[in-house]
Structures are given as structure tokens and as C-alpha cells.
């Protein structure tokens, strides 16, 4: 039995899709859907045995009434809004919730794989290496990044990173993110605008060393990210905190070019002002150091940005789920 928290969300539902493709349906989905599980497009074609609200699952954990057959908890559930201002909510929903699940998994010898984030790297002055020395020096730029970083530090301080896996997801994009509103990827947000108006918008740069649209991110397709999660499911002897990107930073202009090429339209980019509240939190460059993952034995290559965007556009045309 596998528990997937955030199972109705973006990465979580893609993990369930992959498990289903292997013929695996012994899955407990955990999420928070105020309008019921029937309201989730991401779960409509998925096979699983039970859905639990995140509060009910936490109660089961704290009362030790979780199904005894559970062998793996894949914890993708969290508030991923990088602009939120409610520190108490991030503390309770992201840090304390994760801590309680981790403590239960450690006690029960249940495999625990959790989502950290590249947001923990802040402005990148400490680099993007996922070793302990670097992680301890990081200073995130927002409450989301702080909440993820706090749990990484807790796991290191408790000396339990050799009994679990933390994944620092970089810029993940792909199908099943439609519900995320303003937190959707630029590909998802721009696709409709491109089709209707023939152009897309990117933020201007406010640093002289970066031209408009030349800010760089490590973009990784969700299917590649899921492959790495499956790798750690299949290799329980490998543990630690790992970066999860491609190891290759590319510009927002590169992303735009890939999108326009995928829909067969002429490139037209409008550079717009960045909201004031984002400017102090904006990451101008991210690039995952992937040596640690490769040294662990992961050999599969990642999709090129062009191929990944082309595959995603196939879903965006019909607003279809993975």
C-alpha cells in the first residue's frame, strides 16, 4: 500500500498516473478537496482504494490507525504559493505536518519520500549543491521556501536523512497543474494567451547582468520528475536530500521559443513590469547540481526543453490530464 499526499495536486496526481500505468492501484490518496473528491479532474481516471482529507489522515497518523499495509508515504502535499504572507499557516501546513508524518514513518519503518524545493536556495549566493554544508547555509526568499528549508534542517539535525528521501524540485511543469491558478507554469499560463492573442508576456529584468527574458531557470518536465520518485521507490537503500532538476539552466526566452515552435506560431514576446512585491523574492538564476543523484546510480536522461514543451502542448490543446 502506498500513500500519496497531495494526490489530487500536480505532481502527486502524476505519480498516481505512473503507478497506475504499472498496474498498481493499492493507493491511499490524501489531499484537501472542500467540494469532495468528485470535484478533482486530476483523480477522475485514476485508480486508488481510498481518499482521505489531509486532516483525517493526520488524525490516523497521530492515533496510529493508518492501514498496517502501508509501506511507502510519498509526501507531495503542501502550500506551494511563493507569495503567501501567513507564516503560521506555512508553519503548520508545510513544516509541522511533514514533521509528524516523518516521525510516524520513522517509527513504523515506512519509506518516506518528501518534496522539498529549489525555493530553499534563495538568491543562489550559496550555489545549488545539495550537500549538507550548503543546505545549512541557505537563506530562502519567501515563506514557502523557509517552510521547506526548515524541514530539511530538522531532518539533518535529527540525523535521519539516511532513512528518508527529500527531493528539491526545481521548475517543474506539465499536465495536471491546471488548478494551480497563478502558480501554474509559464507554459500553462501563456498557452491560452498565445492562442487568443498571438503573443505571450514575460517579466522584465531589473538586474543589468540579465537582459529581459534572459533570466535563467532549471526547467524539468513533470514526467521526468516522476521517474526520479519511482527510482527512489524502487531503491529503498538509497536515501538523502537530492536536487531534482535537469542540471541545465535555460532562459525564459528559450522556454517561449519552444512554446511558439510547438504551436507553429511566430515568436512574439511582450516584456512587462514585475509586481513590486515579487522583485525582492525573484530568483534570476537556478541550476540544480545533479552530481549527487547521478552518483546514487540514476542514469536516465531528461527530456530536452523543446521536447518537453511539445509533449505538454499535446495536453494543453485539450486541457487533458496525465
Identify the pLDDT of residue 280: 87
DSSP state of 9: S
* pLDDT of 183: 83
For the four alpha carbons of 8, 10, 13 and 15, in that order, the dihedral sign comes to negative
pLDDT of 43 reads: 97
- On the question of pLDDT at 257 being above 90, the answer is yes
pLDDT of res. 286: 97
Instruction: Kindly indicate the confidence band of residue 245, based on its pLDDT and cuts at 50, 70 and 90.
Output: very high
Alpha helices per DSSP H over the chain = 10-21, 54-62, 87-90, 97-108, 132-135, 143-157, 186-197, 222-234, 252-263, 276-279, 291-296, 305-316
Mean pLDDT of all residues in 279-287: 93
Q: Give the per-residue pLDDT at 269.
A: 97
Residue pair 110/163 in contact by the 8 Å Cβ criterion: no
Catalytic, 196? Answer no
User: Using CA atoms, how far apart are residues 247 and 300, in angstroms rounded to an integer?
Assistant: 13
DSSP 98-146: HHHHHHHHHHHT-EEEEEEEGGGGTTSTT-S--SHHHHTT---SSHHHH
Residue 182 has a pLDDT of 82
Share of the chain above pLDDT 90, in %: 94
181 pLDDT higher than 90: no
Q: What is the pLDDT of residues 28-74, one digit of tens each?
A: 999 999 998 999 999 999 999 999 999 999 999 999 999 999 999 99
Show me where the domains of the chain are located: 2-173+220-246+284-301
Region 2-173+220-246+284-301: CATH code: 3.40.50.720
Cell of 295: 552518483
Beta-carbon contacts of residue 111 (< 8 Å; ≥ 6 apart):
71, 72, 73, 105, 164, 233, 236
pLDDT band at 110; cut points 50, 70, 90:
very high
Catalytically annotated residue among 54, 99, 180, 189: 180
Catalytic pick among 144, 191, 221, 231: 144
pTM of the entire structure?
0.96
Mean pLDDT of 234-242: 98
CB atoms under 10 Å from CB of 319, counted, come to: 12
**pLDDT tens string 129-152:** 999 999 999 999 999 999 999 999
Q: How far apart are CA 284 and CA 205, in angstroms?
A: 8
Is 277 a residue whose pLDDT tops 90? no
Q: In the block, which residue shows the cell 527531493? A: 167
Q: How far is CA 262 from CA 175, 178, 192, 306, in A?
A: 15, 19, 13, 8
Q: Is the pLDDT of residue 118 over 90?
A: yes
- Residue 314: which pLDDT band, with cuts at 50, 70 and 90? very high
Is 180 labeled as catalytic in the residue annotation? yes
CA distances from 211 to 54, 284, 286 (A): 43, 11, 16
Average pLDDT rounded to a whole number, residues 296-316: 98
pLDDT, averaged across the chain:
96
Amino acid at each position: 500500500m502506498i500513500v500519496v499526499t497531495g494526490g489530487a495536486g500536480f505532481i502527486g496526481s502524476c505519480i498516481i498516473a505512473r503507478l497506475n500505468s504499472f498496474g498498481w492501484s493499492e493507493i491511499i490518496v490524501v489531499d484537501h478537496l472542500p467540494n469532495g473528491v468528485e470535484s478533482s479532474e486530476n483523480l477522475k481516471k485514476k485508480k486508488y482504494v481510498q481518499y482521505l482529507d489531509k486532516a483525517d489522515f493526520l488524525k490516523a497518523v497521530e492515533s496510529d490507525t493508518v492501514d498496517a499495509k502501508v509501506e511507502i508515504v510519498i509526501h507531495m502535499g503542501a502550500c506551494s504559493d511563493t507569495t503567501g504572507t501567513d507564516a503560521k499557516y506555512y508553519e503548520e501546513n508545510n513544516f509541522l505536518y511533514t514533521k509528524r508524518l516523518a516521525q510516524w514513518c520513522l517509527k513504523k519503518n515506512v519509506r518516506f519520500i518528501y518534496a522539498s524545493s529549489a525555493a530553499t536556495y534563495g538568491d543562489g549566493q550559496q550555489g545549488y549543491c545539495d550537500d549538507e554544508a550548503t543546505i545549512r547555509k541557505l537563506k530562502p526568499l519567501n515563506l514557502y521556501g523557509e517552510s521547506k528549508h526548515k524541514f530539511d534542517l530538522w531532518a539533518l539535525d535529527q540525523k535521519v536523512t539516511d532513512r528518508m528521501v527529500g527531493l528539491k524540485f526545481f521548475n517543474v511543469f506539465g499536465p495536471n497543474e491546471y488548478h494551480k491558478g497563478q502558480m501554474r507554469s509559464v507554459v500553462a499560463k501563456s498557452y491560452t494567451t498565445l492562442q487568443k492573442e498571438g503573443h505571450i508576456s514575460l517579466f522584465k529584468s531589473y538586474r543589468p547582468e540579465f537582459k529581459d527574458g534572459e533570466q535563467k531557470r532549471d526547467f524539468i518536465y513533470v514526467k521526468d520528475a516522476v521517474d526520479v520518485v519511482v527510482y527512489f521507490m524502487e531503491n529503498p537503500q538509497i536515501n538523502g536530500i537530492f536536487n531534482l532538476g535537469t542540471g541545465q539552466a535555460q532562459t525564459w526566452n528559450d522556454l517561449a521559443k519552444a512554446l511558439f515552435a510547438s504551436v507553429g506560431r511566430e515568436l512574439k514576446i511582450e516584456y512587462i513590469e514585475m509586481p513590486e512585491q515579487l522583485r525582492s523574492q525573484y530568483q534570476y538564476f537556478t541550476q540544480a547540481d545533479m552530481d549527487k543523484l547521478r552518483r546514487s546510480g540514476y542514469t536516465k536522461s531528461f527530456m530536452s526543453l523543446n521536447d518537453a514543451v511539445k509533449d505538454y502542448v499535446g495536453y494543453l490543446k485539450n486541457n487533458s490530464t496525465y
